Amino acid sequence: MKPILILDFDSTIVTIESLDALAEISLAKHPERDERLARIEELTKLGMEGKLGFRESLAERVRLLDANQGHLEVLAKRLKKCLSPSFAAHKKQLKAVADRLYVVTGGFAEFVAPIAAMLDIPNSRVYANSFLFDEDGKIIGFDDQNPLSQAGGKIPVVESIAYDGPKWVVGDGFTDYQIREAGAASRFFCYAETVYREAVAAKADSVVYGIDEVLAESDLPTRYSFPRSKIKILLLDSIDSDAAESLAAEGYRVEQVKEKLSEDELVKRIKDVSIIGVRTRTKIPARVIQAGKRLMAIGVFSVGTDHVDSAAAAARGVAVFNAPFSNTRSVVELALGEAMVLMRRVFAHSTALHEGRWTKSAAGAHEIRGKKLGIIGYGNIGSQLSVLAESVGLEVIYYDIAEKLSHGKAQRIESLHDLLKQSDIISVHFDGRASNKNLISKKEFEMMKDGVIFLNLSRGSVVDYSALRDAVLSGKVGGAGIDVFPSEPKSNDEPFDSVLRGLPNVILTPHIAGSTEEAQRNIAAYVSERLRKYVAQGETLGSVSLPDLYLPPIQKGMRILHVHRNVPGIVASVSAIFARHGVNIVGQNLKTRDQIGYLVTDIADKVSDELLAEIREVPETIKLRVLNP
């Protein structure tokens, strides 16, 4: 017989502790708010630790709440938005088996029942305490005859549920474990989606991070073939919270760590992690990748990926995704803004005024209309700057080592030197590859027009800043906007130094050209989407480590993802295995990149474990993953 599931409420079905939330609502304007909240917290703790009778603790808490019907309505509304992410993601599946679901809680039916109803659990299967009200709707106590108002009260309640098959308990607290301990249930799942209580986990038959894990174990229908809460995602470096929220909403187990982890800590923590997300602070060297036995993908929530060993990731079949375009607009806006501000000498005037000097004069101040902007590096940023610059009346010329399509009226210049000689404003937007080191140096500055405005918002290594300093002091460069430096402080606590400090009409910014809240949100959305598509569909579009393949969603059957060393004959070997097993292939995609090949095979039916084992044994296999619709 399939089991019935006995669900706890607080920190299980919902992410919060409802009595605490009620206290925050009812005491919001109370003169003794802080004292009462502290006392309620203390009473909860004393009750849980058994130092105060459960019923006394509850009675005292209810008295301190000073709550009424109106407060309960506000709480019910708030709770509706606090459904645990995996419950929310599996609402349809839970409703389909609602006749197997019971709620047994020390909470109160007045706010538990409306939430249970969202999962189609009727009041008759909600076992909870109930409040007593006076005629004005004020809470004056609770039904103390209800067994749930006393310690160990869940045990007789579960015993009283008439069911001959197995009863499984799902909850985060010790009182849930006690049901199993007393023999009233046959399994206890410590529910850790919201809180992980070590003492409770130690007693549990299993620790689960999402309700889909329990559904899968009980052979009840789930939304995904593999419980998503088993896929742990570790997000570091203060990645925008949108990423964590959207991934958790899809049922993944997301952990966000704010503090910086050392490489050794990372090696330890990555062992059970399927996906790791970093911005630029945390480096991911080969040693960390090799320690990630379950690692599928690395999300780099920034543009550059130099700090992640993509070659080591490729060698282990780990997909690395970044966000190459998401902050382009932010960089372009700053470049254009600085060009205007510097042409008008606004920064120099502002500095003078801050120093108490009045400098009213038109000398050296120019409009940007009709001036020539020279863009070096016509990639994502350079080309977008070209479009925006033309819209404010600049004439654009550009130089790029690669063949590029000109936007608008922008004109390609065949030699860097010609661009340097012609431009009134020069903006550098090429990448920091080794051969670009100090590409703009003394000789290049000498070629520029007198009074040129110079911008570098790309990489600190590509410009020789001692040469720029000399050029500013000699008047060759009339103003500069510099956002990137060859060596940058690792955190805001470290001091900053540069030969450019203290120069007139030179704007220095701490590598923030791409750092806007909009860009952070764009990056979070873009990289999360790439990770989701990779996990759910095997799509590698935009990956910097694996060959990139666009793949449509799986319709039926199975999708087999095979990352292998790129040697001749590998596709034939894998196809021969399919043929031997008489498998009907619906579609196949292969892409290779350097040493790595990625073969994706869609098949009409499910395949046997023996077939998969044979593919795994092909010597060139790096990683094999199987997806169901």
Ligand X SMILES: NC(=O)c1ccc[n+]([C@@H]2O[C@H](COP(=O)([O-])OP(=O)(O)OC[C@H]3O[C@@H](n4cnc5c(N)ncnc54)[C@H](O)[C@@H]3O)[C@@H](O)[C@H]2O)c1
**Under the rule (CB under 6 A), what is the footprint of ligand X?**
303-304, 324, 327, 331, 376-382, 399-402, 429-432, 436, 439, 457-459, 483-484, 511, 513-514
Alpha-carbon separation of residue 168 from 7, 40, 103, 208, 489 (angstroms): 9, 31, 12, 13, 54
**In terms of CB distance, is 194 or 384 closer to ligand X?**
384
Cβ at position 231, least distance to ligand X in Å: 30
Q: With respect to ligand X, which residue has the nearer C-beta, 331 or 452?
A: 331
CB of 443 to ligand X, least distance (A): 15
The CA-to-CA distance between both ends of the chain, in Å, stands at 27
Q: Which CB, 108 or 399, lies closer to ligand X? A: 399
Catalytic residue among 61, 329, 459, 562: 459
Task: Return the structure tokens found at 64.
Answer: 């301190």
In the residue annotation, 414 being an active-site residue is answered as no
DSSP H helix total and E strand total for the chain: 24, 24
Closer residue to ligand X, CB minimum distance, 175 or 383: 383
- Which amino acid does the sequence have at 161? I
Place of tokens 């590859």: 433
CB of 611 to ligand X, least distance (A): 42
Q: For residue 220, give every residue at least 6 positions away whose Cβ sits within 8 Å of its Cβ, in sequence order, or none.
A: 2, 93, 97, 100
Which segments within 438-581 are labelled E, that is strand? 452-456, 477-482, 506-508, 558-565
The residue annotated as part of the active site, out of 488, 501, 581, 616, is: 488
Cβ–Cβ contacts within 10 Å for residue 537, how many?
20
Q: Is 488 a catalytic residue?
A: yes
Give the span between the Cα atoms of 345 and 266, in whole angstroms.
48
3-state secondary structure 448-475: CCCCEEEEECCCHHHECHHHHHHHHHCC
Dump strand ranges (E) for 109-259.
126-129, 131-133, 139-142, 167-171, 187-191, 206-208, 232-235, 253-256
- Shortest Å, Cβ 386 to ligand X: 11
Q: How far is the CB of 88 from ligand X (least distance, A)?
A: 35
Take residue 429 and report the two structure tokens written for it: 């937007």
Q: Nearer Cβ to ligand X, position 158 or 410?
A: 410
210 in Cβ contact with 182 (< 8 Å): no
Q: Is 357 designated active site?
A: no
Considering the complex, state which of residue 427 and residue 537 has its C-beta at the smaller distance from ligand X.
427
Q: Which of 155, 109, 151 is nearest to 128 (CA)?
A: 109
What residue is closest to ligand X based on CB?
A: 379
Name beta bridge partners: 335: none
Give the residue carrying structure tokens 């203290």. 502
- For residue 334, the minimal CB distance to ligand X (Å) is 8
Q: Are 235 and 243 in contact (CB under 8 A)?
A: yes
Residue 44 one-letter amino acid:
T
As a whole number of angstroms, the distance between CA 485 and CA 493 comes to 17
Question: Torsions phi, psi of 296, nearest 5?
Answer: -105, -40
Structure tokens at 448: 């520029």
SS3 362: coil
By beta-carbon proximity to ligand X, the closer residue of 273 and 513 is 513
> Which is nearer to ligand X, 326 or 505 (by Cβ)?
326
Please, what is the minimum distance in Å from the beta carbon of residue 309 to ligand X?
18
Check 33, 511, 532, 565 and give the catalytic one: 511
CB of 491 to ligand X, least distance (A): 16
Q: Do residues 13 and 173 lie in contact, with contact meaning Cβ atoms separated by under 8 Å?
A: no
In the complex, least distance from residue 519 CB atom to ligand X, rounded to whole angstroms: 8
Nearer to ligand X, 194 or 380 (CB): 380
User: Percent helix, strand, coil in the chain (nearest 5)?
Assistant: 40, 20, 40
What residues does 598 pair with on adjacent strands? 563, 591
Which CB atom, from 149 or from 436, has the smaller least distance to ligand X? Answer: 436
CB atoms within 10 A of CB 444: 21
Beta carbon of residue 412, minimum distance to ligand X (angstroms, whole number): 11
Structure tokens at 300: 């780099």
Active site residues: 459, 488, 511
